[in-house]
Chains A and B, each alone.
Chain A
Amino acid sequence: MDEATKRLFFGIEVCAPWPSNLPAEGRILDPLHRHMTLAFLGQTDYQKIQEALPNFQVPSFKVGFTGQFDRCLFLPPYHPSVLAWHVGTLDKKTAIEHYHRQLIDWLKSLDLPVTDRKGFLPHVTLCRHPKNKKSWLESFIPLPMIAYKIHLYESLGYSQYVSCWEYSLQPPFEEISHTADIAYRVYGESLEEIYHHAYTALAFAYPPILAFPLDNIQVNNLDDVVIQLNDVVSKMDQEMGCPFKAVSLHGNIRKETNNILTWEMIIDV
């Protein structure tokens, strides 16, 4: 193999409360390497792409995105070589699809050997060469995910990857230390995003809340956000119990200098 080339692809790192008890079969990907592929380059002139990276095609959005895994995907469906989890709901779905197209067009404009598949199938590969489909189907549970770091990955073979370069967006939320309860700093580019990202933070803390999805209502202010999140908490507590007493009214929405909205969310537990 030519030392000046590397097997490369652009992907976005995916964080999730990954279960520790995935089926013990096939080749499981290290949680730190789980990603959504944005553009596959294959064997590529490394110097050429390094020279292009300072002008990298960045997304139009500044804050990363959230989503939910909704089912297993076996690729191809018969005799699969890959087991992935499909991302069923994505906030910013349209913006991500648009960005996927933009990135491919940018790579093409540089004469880089990008694979141009039709459409964008949001999924995260968990295992290569899965043998027992039934065990994967049975072990699947809906989980939330967030993504905010775009990487240029080098594939080392045997499902080993190394990041050669990264571009970081603002994470949708970050846990902050709170002595008595749990707290997150939530980020968004609109109130609706704050609403969805706050809900995903709750789902990271307690994934069963995903069985109680947000109502698609218009939120006009932070009070609406808190009231709607608490409606979810109430419904869950009535039907199956909930570790959250309530989302408090603490804090205000602030606009940072980069126009990103932030809110410090404290949840009584």
Chain B
Amino acid sequence: MYKLEKMKPGIYLMPKEGGMKVPGLIIASEALLQEMELEQPLEQVRNVAHLQGIVGHSIAMPDIHWGYGFPIGGVAATDAETGVISPGGVGYDINCGVRLAIVPLIFRELSDASKTELVKSVFKTVPSGVGQEHKGTGLTDADYRKIVATGAQWSVEHGFGFQKDLEHIESHGCIQGGDLDFVSNQAKERGRRQLGSIGSGNHFVEIGEITQIYRRDVAEAWGIVKGQTYVLIHSGSRGFGHQICQDTLNAFMKGGYAEGLPDRQLVAAPISSSAGKGYFKAMAAAANFAFNNRQQILHWVRLAFQKTCKIKPEDVVLVYDVCHNIAKFEEYEVDGVLKRLCVHRKGATRAFGPHNPELAPLFQKTGQPVLVPGDMGRASHVMVGLGNQLTWSSACHGAGRARSRTQSLKSWQGRNPITHMLKEGVQVMATSIKTVAEEMPDAYKDVDMVVEAVQEAGLANMVAKLGPHLVIKG
């Protein structure tokens, strides 16, 4: 059992004990704390606090749930000089993330036939599900070398989107330092034909309407209007990133970097070691692959809107693209001294506030968009970051699962989840009906409660609410 002490509204402290180097910090409302199964995720918060060089707190977001190594919804910053980097703090799906685009169409004005044609067109064009990838020979090593070094710029140069898109991607679509020399052939093989595909599990493409505006000034600045059509894309670095994580974990284990840690999945090498530097270069390579992946998926969705709704691709405007499985070097003041930290966000989103020089001019005025997908039936949210140092400018990444895949699957046995969703006003297309059953709305927490907790804790403010209508799952 864990004793949590309330620090401020929405913020709870898990006192330091045993080998913890820092205390834990839990962002949650009282209602969420009562609902959540906390034993296993909080044990993981405690385990993360054992990492060498961890600074501040081992942090859990309100969408926290049991992962492996880190909890999902976990944040940990380590000192770049004395600390470690943990591949488990990033996860297998390196730079899994979300992007939001706005379409100049009032969703309700679309006819039912157009909506059906649109969802079918996206389903046909964007490979989704296990083993679904693009045909042809795929990426050459020369392509890979440019992708990992230049990020989403590569896709833009190859006709997938526009130069202006890059200003609307976290880190401008490129994490510096990606190096193919630190990537195995197996990783390249896994990813070769997967660029521009969704994958399986909880990944999706979703189209719907903006249902509510909470902060008109910010929404207007970002071009978000009530009733308008949006596109939300959730995917990551596919097999390329999974293999990079796996290769690194194997190498770190062989290097003895798990000694003294309460969980081997937390295995971590000093950031300054050749192993640590090598992982960062490989991780950046995977992150840049993921930026390209979402850039290309958006391209195919833009073409679907052009084909079915006569909307020009350049009129489908990218609002923002966020990473939620990543480690990044950022500077923060710690005990009055400016320090370079390696911020691990595993199922957490960066939430820079206004004036952050890393952001494009538009977002320097407002703070960065924080995209919070909920579930395919109820809602998702757009928030604006407040740059709260207590969480190293981090916020939640989704609703968080409330029940396991098996529980969800069992509860939908004998019923057709796609028919059910259609009755609820959401048209779902998927390669696997099993995936749909696993991903039904009742498998997730209520995202409204999660974003309210984030707002209450002062990490990000609510800007707009999104209502799904057309969903493509893996």
CB-CB nearest in chain A for B187: A234
Chain B residues, CB < 8 A from A175: 406
Q: Does B211 contact A (CB under 8 A)?
A: no
The interface centre, meaning the residue of B65, B190, B250, B258 with most chain A CB atoms within 10 A of its CB, is B190
Chain A residues, CB < 8 A from B226: none
Chain B residues, CB < 8 A from A266: 68
- Do A179 and B404 have beta carbons less than 8 Å apart? yes
Total CB contacts across the A-B interface at under 8 A = 97
List the 5 shortest-distance A-B pairs measured between CB atoms, nearest first.
A241-B131, A248-B68, A250-B68, A245-B92, A179-B65
Chain A stretch 223-251: residues in CB contact (< 8 A) with chain B: 223, 227, 230, 234, 237-238, 240-243, 245-246, 248-251
- Give the distance in Å from the alpha carbon of A242 to the alpha carbon of B92 in the complex: 14
- Give the distance in Å from the alpha carbon of A227 to the alpha carbon of B252 in the complex: 12
Interchain Cβ contacts under 8 Å between A and B, 16 examples = A178-B404, A180-B67, A180-B72, A181-B67, A182-B404, A182-B406, A227-B250, A234-B239, A243-B130, A245-B242, A246-B92, A246-B242, A248-B92, A249-B88, A250-B68, A268-B242
Given contacts A242-B130, A246-B246, contact A268 B264 (CB under 8 A): no
- Give the distance in Å from the alpha carbon of A266 to the alpha carbon of B36 in the complex: 20
Q: A40-83 vs B: 1/0 string, CB under 8 Å?
A: 00000000000000000000000000000000000000000000
Contact of A240 among B68, B131, B401 (CB under 8 A): B131
- Do B201 and A243 have beta carbons less than 8 Å apart? yes
Q: Does B37 contact A (CB under 8 A)?
A: yes
Contact of A234 among B129, B133, B246 (CB under 8 A): B246
- Do A223 and B253 have beta carbons less than 8 Å apart? yes
Chain B stretch 175-213: residues in CB contact (< 8 A) with chain A: 186, 189-190, 200-201
Q: Does A269 contact B (CB under 8 A)?
A: yes
How many residues of chain B have a CB within 8 Å of chain A? 42
Question: Closest approach, in angstroms, between the C-beta of B43 and any C-beta of chain A?
Answer: 12
Q: Does A177 contact B (CB under 8 A)?
A: yes
Q: B234-249 vs A: 1/0 string, CB under 8 Å?
A: 0000010011011001
Chain B residues, CB < 8 A from A180: 65-67, 72, 401
- Give the distance in Å from the alpha carbon of A238 to the alpha carbon of B245 in the complex: 16
- Give the distance in Å from the alpha carbon of A75 to the alpha carbon of B186 in the complex: 45
Q: Does B263 contact A (CB under 8 A)?
A: yes
Q: Does A252 contact B (CB under 8 A)?
A: yes
Q: Does B145 contact A (CB under 8 A)?
A: no
Question: Closest approach, in angstroms, between the C-beta of B257 and any C-beta of chain A?
Answer: 11
Contact of B66 among A178, A206, A230 (CB under 8 A): A178
Chain B residues, CB < 8 A from A249: 68-69, 88, 249, 253, 258, 264-265, 267
Q: Does B403 contact A (CB under 8 A)?
A: yes
Q: Does B389 contact A (CB under 8 A)?
A: no
Chain B residues, CB < 8 A from A240: 131
CB-CB nearest in chain B for A235: B186
Question: Closest approach, in angstroms, between the C-beta of A198 and any C-beta of chain B?
Answer: 15
- Do A234 and B190 have beta carbons less than 8 Å apart? yes
How many residues of chain A have a CB within 8 Å of chain B? 28
Q: Does B121 contact A (CB under 8 A)?
A: no
- Give the distance in Å from the alpha carbon of A206 to the alpha carbon of B243 in the complex: 19
Contact of A268 among B37, B92, B401 (CB under 8 A): B92
- Do B245 and A179 have beta carbons less than 8 Å apart? no
- Give the distance in Å from the alpha carbon of A243 to the alpha carbon of B246 in the complex: 15
- Do A248 and B69 have beta carbons less than 8 Å apart? yes
- Give the distance in Å from the alpha carbon of A225 to the alpha carbon of B141 in the complex: 31
CB-CB nearest in chain A for B96: A245
Contact of A238 among B66, B189, B249, B407 (CB under 8 A): B189
Question: Closest approach, in angstroms, between the C-beta of B310 and any C-beta of chain A?
Answer: 34
- Do A269 and B133 have beta carbons less than 8 Å apart? no
Question: Closest approach, in angstroms, between the C-beta of A87 and any C-beta of chain B?
Answer: 26
Q: Does B132 contact A (CB under 8 A)?
A: yes
- Give the distance in Å from the alpha carbon of A112 to the alpha carbon of B201 in the complex: 54
- Give the distance in Å from the alpha carbon of A249 to the alpha carbon of B88 in the complex: 9
Q: B52-78 vs A: 1/0 string, CB under 8 Å?
A: 000000000000011111001000000
Chain A residues, CB < 8 A from B403: 179
Given contacts A249-B253, A250-B263, contact A268 B68 (CB under 8 A): yes
Chain B residues, CB < 8 A from A251: 264
Chain A stretch 152-184: residues in CB contact (< 8 A) with chain B: 175, 177-182
- Do B186 and A177 have beta carbons less than 8 Å apart? no
Chain B residues, CB < 8 A from A181: 67-68, 405
- Do B190 and A237 have beta carbons less than 8 Å apart? yes
The interface centre, meaning the residue of B72, B129, B131, B401 with most chain A CB atoms within 10 A of its CB, is B131
Contact of A245 among B93, B250, B402 (CB under 8 A): B93
Q: A180-B65, A245-B93 are known; give 18 further A-B pairs, CB within 8 A.
A: A177-B407, A178-B404, A179-B66, A179-B402, A182-B406, A223-B264, A234-B243, A237-B190, A238-B239, A241-B130, A248-B68, A248-B265, A249-B68, A249-B253, A249-B258, A250-B263, A250-B264, A250-B265
- Give the distance in Å from the alpha carbon of A223 to the alpha carbon of B254 in the complex: 9
Chain B stretch 253-311: residues in CB contact (< 8 A) with chain A: 253-254, 258, 263-265, 267
Chain A residues, CB < 8 A from B264: 223, 249-252
- Do A243 and B200 have beta carbons less than 8 Å apart? yes
Chain B stretch 334-393: residues in CB contact (< 8 A) with chain A: none
Question: Closest approach, in angstroms, between the C-beta of B129 and any C-beta of chain A?
Answer: 8
Chain A residues, CB < 8 A from B151: none
Q: Does B91 contact A (CB under 8 A)?
A: yes
CB-CB nearest in chain B for A238: B189
Contact of B37 among A179, A182, A243 (CB under 8 A): A179
Question: Closest approach, in angstroms, between the C-beta of A242 and any C-beta of chain B?
Answer: 7
Question: Closest approach, in angstroms, between the C-beta of B136 and any C-beta of chain A?
Answer: 16
CB-CB nearest in chain B for A250: B68
- Give the distance in Å from the alpha carbon of A229 to the alpha carbon of B74 in the complex: 27
- Give the distance in Å from the alpha carbon of A245 to the alpha carbon of B87 in the complex: 14
Question: Closest approach, in angstroms, between the C-beta of B263 and any C-beta of chain A?
Answer: 7
CB-CB nearest in chain A for B263: A250
CB-CB nearest in chain A for B435: A243
Given contacts A248-B265, A249-B249, A249-B253, contact A241 B92 (CB under 8 A): no
Given contacts A179-B403, A180-B72, contact A238 B190 (CB under 8 A): yes
- Give the distance in Å from the alpha carbon of A155 to the alpha carbon of B271 in the complex: 67
Chain A residues, CB < 8 A from B245: 246
The interface centre, meaning the residue of A240, A242, A248 with most chain B CB atoms within 10 A of its CB, is A248
The interface centre, meaning the residue of B91, B133, B239, B245 with most chain A CB atoms within 10 A of its CB, is B239
- Give the distance in Å from the alpha carbon of A175 to the alpha carbon of B410 in the complex: 13
- Give the distance in Å from the alpha carbon of A13 to the alpha carbon of B251 in the complex: 42
- Give the distance in Å from the alpha carbon of A177 to the alpha carbon of B92 in the complex: 20
- Give the distance in Å from the alpha carbon of A240 to the alpha carbon of B254 in the complex: 29
Chain B stretch 405-450: residues in CB contact (< 8 A) with chain A: 405-407
- Do B404 and A177 have beta carbons less than 8 Å apart? yes
